[in-house]
Structure 1
Amino acid sequence: MSGLSMKAIEKAFGTVRVLNGVNFDVRPGEVHALLGMNGAGKSTLMNILAGAILPDAGTITIDGTPCAFSSPREAKQAGIGLVVQEVDTALFPGLPIYENLAADELADVKHHPIRSLREEKKWAAALLHRVGLSIPPTKLVRDCSLHEKQLIVLAKVLSSNARYIILDEPTAALSEAETKRLFAIIHELKQQGVGFIYISHKLKEVQEIADRLTILRDGRIIYQGAAGSLSLEDIVLHMTGTKQAATAKQARTYGSEIAFAARGIKIDKTSTTVDIYAHRGEIVGIAGLVGAGKTELAESLVAHRKTSGEWQLDGQHYTFSSPYEAIAAGLCLIPEERRKQGLFLPESVQTNLTVRLLSWLSRWQWISRMKETNAANGLVRSLGIHPPSPSTAVRHLSGGNQQKVVIGKWLNTNARVFLFDEPTKGIDVHAKQDVFSIIRTLADEGKTVLYFSSEFRELLEVCDTIYIMVDGRLLARLPAAELTYEQLVYYCSGGEIDGPAGRFRDTVEKSGVVYS
């Protein structure tokens, strides 16, 4: 029998059963999408297939031959490849591309083919060409774009002769053009007999690229069949168990007082200077396409990137030279790459939630475990983190629950300005609504929220005011209620802003914040 098959897979973590007799298969040359809400069991099923964890029961076969993977290395040898969502965690940024591609071979000393440096670079160039990249193999990974890094990881997977490749949220941080290029590469590899397991919350893209769908809910198969046989509404219904109701945006009010302002913030990557401000209790969106400079601005505002400028919080002026100084003044950043920059993955939920509270939890450098446990339990309950076990390692949580942990560690601190960089990246519709609820609650409490995103519909849903960002510049500051989705796309794509540009200048002048 040709293909990969998983039969009656079961897995539990303590008393929480995550997978209940799941059957899943992939045929050569097809894209089989695996869908479900955060916590449905997708990640656990794929971790079993990739050899990261062992199942409690069930079998895996490839072309009719039983397989039992006790490590990722064994899964790779059997032809299983994994392209993770946070591609930076799979690469060495300080090494050139060709050394990254050869890293697994170099680690396997017994089977590493002997190649000259010239042959190594030629081999790497051929792999890059196979995934549609025409960049020199000597380029350092840290100088590559996110899209290039993703394709480098795909090339690395292909170098191990992977026949079945798991793509975890592959388009979460890609532009529309980059997504189309990725899909073209997938179609080409399908013709070569490569099978794909495609995990994504972007359902329209799933309908475009997938041949078959499997939908998980609470660790059980809810639907399995052709991708074209279900509408988007039906897919959501199977994923959630309830019909998606349209919700009208509720009008919010916020104060007239400027709570946060930054002037002359230099973004080195784009060689631009940015001025920005927000009122107390205001949710301010920064809308821009992928590559517009949103992340660079967010990191510059907390002095994570080398920058210059002036900050103003509640009327007090600052200059920051380090994240420590920015955090001490009341700024915090929920980063786009939560697994890389926002979490201690091997540590427990409790440790991650309380890491910013150590000065309060400790006395004479001794941590009060009772205080720590009580603080963590309170946050787990209020945030709705699942499973509700503070002792669970955070790496075992779904993306949505991990994001709640990243946010939660700042809630009991002195943070006054919350910067959210692509906060819904790779999380499902229910988790998104939970994140929106947290953001609205923070604003209602008088906190100031800056929301950096390329998801324009989300910005219109949650924000009071939206900045338009193009090529590292903020071009306009507009009331969200006066914008449409089509206008946001047009403006962020470089479309001319006529009337709104004038309103932007008037609003800046009336704000009382001095801009150059």
Structure 2
Amino acid sequence: MENQSNQLLIEMKGIYKSFFHVKVLENVDFSICSGEVHALMGENGAGKSTLMKILTGIYQKDAGEVFVRGKAVHFKGPKEAEQAGIAVIHQELNIIPHLTVAENMFLGRELRLVKTGILRNKEMKQKTEEYLKRLGIEIDPDIPAGELSVGMQQMIEIAKAISLNAKVIIMDEPTAALTEKEIKTLFTVIRQLKDQGVGIVYISHRMEEIFTICDRITVLRDGQYIGTKLISEVHLDDIVKMMVGRQLGERYPKRNVQIGKERLRVEGLTRKGKFQNLSFEAYEGEIIGVAGLMGAGRTEIVEAIFGINKDGGDIYVDGQKIKVQSPYDAIASGIGFVTEDRKQEGLVLGLSVRENLVLPNLDRISTKSIVNNKIEEAFVDDLVGKLSIKTSGHEQVVKSLSGGNQQKVVIGKWLGINPKILILDEPTRGVDIGAKKEIYHIMNQLTEQGVTIIMVSSELPEILGMSDRIIVVHEGQITAILTQKEADQEKIMYYATGGK
């Protein structure tokens, strides 16, 4: 093993865990050495989060052993894991926006004068600056953390882990909301931490990152340990086969769609302070990719088409000018919108699969404003079957589904309106590789039926793999519209960074 000479920091052996008699982990092994980045991969629902929650004391294992530096441990909670040098940087960052950088850094462990209990603010600010400087970052410790970019907020979390003297840092989807520049900074920091002997558990669905930054990979499937490999000795296809138990073939399914007549035309679209006077068109059966760096205005543009914060411009569907002053107008004109943040904006997490699917479709399943249960059941059955939503039943609460199945529910509720145009904002974010492939197939099926898809994505391989044409946006302006044949990653980045 590549890290044989390095110290074994964590070893988990034969871990078992069940919830309500349902086995979620069965005989799972995992280890991490000092100075290595170890990828933990698997489809959503494979057991990755559960394993890490056992390591950090959030969950208690049913069987198995956990060793920290060779000593058997049994953490009763996260605080004990933290004291043993294990820190977690969650996908949903634990930053409190209205508190300062320094206040966030020392939250829950403030430095105080022993006798009076008065806060040692000056010392906390100095230490905050020191920890951030170790990462090559200079931020005023008095700035409210909410004013910083997500990337910088993440650096505060890493600095916090360093301040805890963490020997192991668990990073859960650390680049999900970062710009390209912030990802490069993060990778530089990860390499620095490696050099200092820190072990990093790296959980991500982005294959390109795994091959760039990781040393080893462990794969779980359906709660079982599939294997651990050196990154230098595996190919993408090997990892996919380990994750899903089969070859997935091409990552992006071939598109054989006949592009039809003009379906959507946008003229002079404007949102004050974000973009102005944008014009483009899209055709029946076409997938238009929208690419650009974070903050370029991609989401704001598709929101305006859906009637959110639109200040000016004309929208035509099938050659007819439509009035779009609200999402209600957009839906009435056959436009659906799968939002970027499925948990906050796309789903009502406490409601069932059935309730979420019928939300925008109540008029279709009602007779004289009364829901027809038979029509509703057939409607939900059809969508669950069409989209292969893995669920224990229509009444299963949506928040208990895997990320991929949650995303299918969001897509499903819009399919119910029989959309002419479907906007997909980051349709595969936080979704495993198997579910991604299923979503791509759904997109292809829709375009075969003549649906026009506008897809915003931060993943350039996805943009290139699925789009017929690509609109590139920089600071609220369209800098290029490229055909699939014209486009490559370098060209898109050139236009995304302001090239003309």
Task: Calculate the TM-score normalised by the size of structure 1.
Answer: 0.81
Which range moved further: 43-52 or 66-75?
Answer: 66-75
Once residues 58 and 354 of structure 2 are traced to their aligned partners in structure 1, the CA distance between those partners, rounded to angstroms, is: 23
- Aligned twin of 2:191: 187
Partner letter of residue 129 of structure 1?
K
CA-to-aligned-CA distance 1:331-386 (integer Å, 9 cap, x gap): 33323333343334455444443443456668999978877666545433322223
Once residues 350 and 480 of structure 2 are traced to their aligned partners in structure 1, the CA distance between those partners, rounded to angstroms, is: 42
- In the TM superposition, what is the alpha-carbon distance from 1:206 to its structure 2 partner? 1.8
Q: Do residues 266 (structure 1) and 266 (structure 2) align? A: no
- Aligned twin of 2:421: 417
CA-to-aligned-CA distance 1:221-277 (integer Å, 9 cap, x gap): 2221433222333333333333453477333223213335353222624x5542233
Partner letter of residue 434 of structure 2?
H
Among 65, 68, 76, the alignment partner of 1:59 is 65
Map 1:495-510; keep pairs closer than 5 Å.
495-496=499-500
Once residues 265 and 79 of structure 2 are traced to their aligned partners in structure 1, the CA distance between those partners, rounded to angstroms, is: 50
Once residues 421 and 98 of structure 2 are traced to their aligned partners in structure 1, the CA distance between those partners, rounded to angstroms, is: 33
Cα separation, partners in 2 of 1:211 and 1:483, compared to 1, 3 Å: closer
- In the TM superposition, what is the alpha-carbon distance from 1:197 to its structure 2 partner? 0.6
- In the TM superposition, what is the alpha-carbon distance from 1:308 to its structure 2 partner? 4.0
Once residues 162 and 373 of structure 1 are traced to their aligned partners in structure 2, the CA distance between those partners, rounded to angstroms, is: 52
Percentage of pairs with the same residue: 39
Q: Do residues 400 (structure 1) and 387 (structure 2) align? A: no
- Aligned twin of 2:88: 82
Map 1:81-230; keep pairs closer than 5 Å.
81-87=87-93, 90-105=94-109, 114-230=118-234
Once residues 44 and 386 of structure 1 are traced to their aligned partners in structure 2, the CA distance between those partners, rounded to angstroms, is: 19
**Equivalences, count:** 489
8 A contact 2:262–2:281 mirrored in 1? no
- Aligned twin of 1:257: 262
Cα separation, partners in 2 of 1:317 and 1:328, compared to 1, 3 Å: closer
Map 1:359-398; keep pairs closer than 5 Å.
375-398=379-402
SS of residue paired to 1:134? coil
8 A contact 1:284–1:465 mirrored in 2? yes
8 A contact 1:257–1:280 mirrored in 2? yes
Partner letter of residue 4 of structure 1?
I
- Aligned twin of 2:15: 9
- Aligned twin of 2:323: 318
- In the TM superposition, what is the alpha-carbon distance from 1:69 to its structure 2 partner? 4.6
Q: Do residues 287 (structure 1) and 291 (structure 2) align? A: yes
Consecutive unaligned residues of structure 1, counting only runs of 5 or more, are: 497-516
8 A contact 2:338–2:414 mirrored in 1? no
- Aligned twin of 1:504: none
CA-to-aligned-CA distance 1:93-127 (integer Å, 9 cap, x gap): 44443343344447x9x9x9752444444343334
Cα root mean square deviation, aligned: 3.6
Q: Do residues 24 (structure 1) and 23 (structure 2) align? A: no
Q: Do residues 441 (structure 1) and 445 (structure 2) align? A: yes
Cα separation, partners in 2 of 1:284 and 1:136, compared to 1, 3 Å: same
Once residues 84 and 373 of structure 2 are traced to their aligned partners in structure 1, the CA distance between those partners, rounded to angstroms, is: 45
Once residues 267 and 43 of structure 1 are traced to their aligned partners in structure 2, the CA distance between those partners, rounded to angstroms, is: 42
Q: Do residues 455 (structure 1) and 459 (structure 2) align? A: yes
Consecutive unaligned residues of structure 2, counting only runs of 5 or more, are: 1-6
SS of residue paired to 1:281? coil
SS of residue paired to 2:66? strand
8 A contact 2:269–2:310 mirrored in 1? no
Task: Calculate the TM-score normalised by the size of structure 2.
Answer: 0.83
SS of residue paired to 2:414? coil
SS of residue paired to 1:410? helix
CA-to-aligned-CA distance 1:261-297 (integer Å, 9 cap, x gap): 353222624x554223323332211122344332232
Among 333, 338, 341, the alignment partner of 2:337 is 333
Which range moved further: 3-12 or 325-334?
Answer: 325-334
Higher fraction of helix: 1
Once residues 437 and 117 of structure 2 are traced to their aligned partners in structure 1, the CA distance between those partners, rounded to angstroms, is: 51
- Aligned twin of 1:302: 306
